[in-house]
Amino acid sequence: MIPEDIKKEYEELKKVIEKHNYQYYVLNNPIISDTDYDKLFKKLLQIEKKYPEIITADSPSFRVGGKIISEFKTVQHSIPMLSLDNTYNENEIIDFDNRVKRLLNKENVEYSCELKIDGISIALKYENGYLVQAITRGNGISGDDVTDNVKTIRSIPLKLSEDVTIEVRGEIFMPKKEFLKINEYRESEGLQVFANPRNATAGTIKLLDTSEVAKRHLDSYIYYIISPENYNITTQIDALKYLKKLGFKINENTKLAKNINEVIEYWKYWTENKAKLNYDVDGVVIKVNSFEEQQILGNTARSPRWAIAFKFPAEQAITKVKDIKYQVGSTGVITPVAIFEPVFLEGTTVQRASLHNFEYIKERDIRIGDYVKIEKAGGIIPQVVTVLTEKRTGNEIPIEEPKECPVCGGKVGKLNPEEVAIRCLNPLCKAKLKRNLEVWVSRDAMNIQGLGPKLIDRMVEAKLIEKIPDLYKLDHFKLATLGHGIGPKMISNILQQIENSKNRGLDRVLYAIGIPNVGKKIAKDLAKKFKTIDNLMNANYDELLSIEGIGEDIAQQIYDFFKDPHVKEIIEELKEAGVSLTYETEENTEGVFSGMTICATGELERMPRSKLKELIEKNGGIFKDTVTKKLNLLVVGKNAGSKLQKAQKFGIPIMTEEEFFEKYKI
């Protein structure tokens, strides 16, 4: 039994946390500090861990993800999600207005003007105020059920302010800042970058790991209600007000235009000012404001007659590729960067653009001396759209892959034949060291505050640090030799931060040290599996491959990394410096599931799969996402799939969700 005071506290916590989510993610007006918010959220999670049966569909804990989705189901839309006709010029928008007025037999029509967000369309269904389904546009007739992923988007309410049953539609998008961060990370890892925020959003919403979706901080704007007459709403502007009242995030830049001239003024304003927004827009959506008039106008086979997308003209510029420079990342990835003749584009002067990798250059046949057409992906990142081959003189110089590292002169190559990235293979490369140190001191790694890129650069150039362990050999005297801006108090703080970092644990070290394609999750899995750095360094290929999520290529890269004599030397020096290279765990090895490996399949009703995983691990067990012959138990929910058949084939014990909780009483 759950005590009544706990139930009351839990309900109040849910309300308070969602209120602060709304203030922060919808209104952009936080009223408490991040620390205070984290305390509230931690308290909620503590209650859910102790009383898992208390978890409800509107729990804010769903926001962090954790569920692994086997596949997306195709669902038919209640009514088709139609496309919009497009126009790019004022004459055509005036023609649209004349056509609307003629069909309505009116001299003037009011329009709602809304920014056209460049993301992906989504349909959201709520029953009695609770989010029950989220469907992508798909082909307009049916789309994919992405409910679990959408629940991680904090601007989309899990429960509305009213207990209504309603379907709404809107746009999910990736803010420009998040887009930049993701592409910077992907480029540093030698992964293919996203072309624009829309592509990044589309890729994110189809990820099978909801915790990865949560990390990418998608956002939303909702703008449409199915059957608005059911809620006594008569205009689009009033619909937006009602959506806001229910708790949805609506775009505050919407305007009611009294006539087509005001529509054109709105379009002109945002044509000039769209770059100031933190999200990508590619035009303005014009809708007849009255729903009654929308009904009269009706639809064609593919689009409504009462709405049109008034697109912004694509801003591009022509410039010349003067040179190619190379950047070397923390894992040695060599990124070619085009240096342009300066050109003004969307409010800034552009002089350079990443060409990402040498496959990208080959596909577009970019050469030094070429005239190219450029634009800003997502309005922020300059990119080459096309080469103007007709302007070639014959003096252009093809761009060759480097034969040696442009920084240290060391060997270069690929870690495997399928990889697009070319890397510096010298472990002591200065450029790699700088980038590697930036990762090492970052919050998710060793969390050494006060060491930014500029200070790291100065320390490397002054040869105070020539490899990572040198960080732990710094003292007051060495730091004082850097001179300007480095005072006694700052030196003491830095040395204390470095000392504190020694006890972060093996998982942080493995993430920080620069193993190719090893992020936080794989680093944690490696640490959990091997417990000490020596065990990991002595692991064979098959042991690495046995870890879920590690494929053949990554297993080989990890194996090769720790066989490198330079890496072995760094590990030994880290040991001598007193850096903890063991994994400390609080897992209960005496619990009810001690020695058991458990998997779950189907739709669980008592709690999300991520919570079940926590519960099993807390009680000494191991939770797996796949069915193997070594599995001790499969827990089965509704609509179980291929995992159930596989478990039956292997003769693995199977329990329903009810049987599982009845037997183990946890």
Residues annotated catalytic, as ranges: 116
Measured CA distances, 78 to 74, 143, 272, 302 (Å): 13, 11, 38, 16
CB atoms within 10 A of CB 511: 25
Residue 268, helix vs strand vs coil? helix
In the β-sheet with 111-117, what is the strand arrangement from edge to edge? 86-87, 307-311, 281-288, 111-117, 255-257
Q: Which helix (H) or strand (E) holds 121?
A: strand 120-127
Both structure tokens of 435: 């980038």
Phi (first) and psi of residue 252, to 5 degrees: -75, -5
Both structure tokens of 499: 């000392």
What's the CA gap between 64 and 28, in Å, rounded?
20
Phi (first) and psi of residue 101, to 5 degrees: -65, -40
Residues in the chain: 666
Q: Residues annotated as binding site?
A: 34-38, 83-84, 114, 137, 171, 287, 311, 405, 408, 424, 429
Residue 621, helix vs strand vs coil? coil
- Torsion of Cα atoms, 251 then 255 then 260 then 261, to 10°: -120
Kind of pairing, strands 120-127 and 166-173? antiparallel
- Please list the residues that pair with 308 across neighbouring strands: 286
Contacts of 555-562 with CB under 8 Å at 24 or more apart are: 556/416, 557/415, 557/416, 557/515, 557/516, 557/517, 557/518, 558/515, 558/518, 558/526, 560/415, 561/515, 561/516, 562/536, 562/537
Are the C-beta atoms of residues 32 and 22 closer than 8 Å to each other?
Answer: no
Cα angle, residue 614 at apex, residues 608 and 619 outer, rounded to 5°:
130
What's the CA gap between 604 and 597, in Å, rounded?
18
Q: Residues annotated as binding site for Zn(2+)?
A: 405, 408, 424, 429
Are the C-beta atoms of residues 19 and 64 closer than 8 Å to each other?
Answer: no
From the DSSP assignment, how many helices (H) and strands (E) are in the chain? Answer: 24, 24
What's the CA gap between 607 and 106, in Å, rounded?
56
What's the CA gap between 30 and 22, in Å, rounded?
9
What's the CA gap between 154 and 477, in Å, rounded?
48
Spell out the SS3 assignment of 571-597.
HHHHHHHCCCCECCCCCCCCCCCCCCE
Question: Which of 363, 191, 75, 188 lies closest to 203 in space, CA to CA?
Answer: 191
What's the CA gap between 229 and 122, in Å, rounded?
21
Residue 219, helix vs strand vs coil? strand
Q: Which residues of 440-455 are buried (b: 16+ CB within 10 A; e: fewer)?
A: bbeeebbebeebeeeb
Question: Which of 285, 270, 284 lies closest to 346 in space, CA to CA?
Answer: 270
Q: Residues annotated as binding site for NAD(+)?
A: 34-38, 83-84, 114, 137, 171, 287, 311
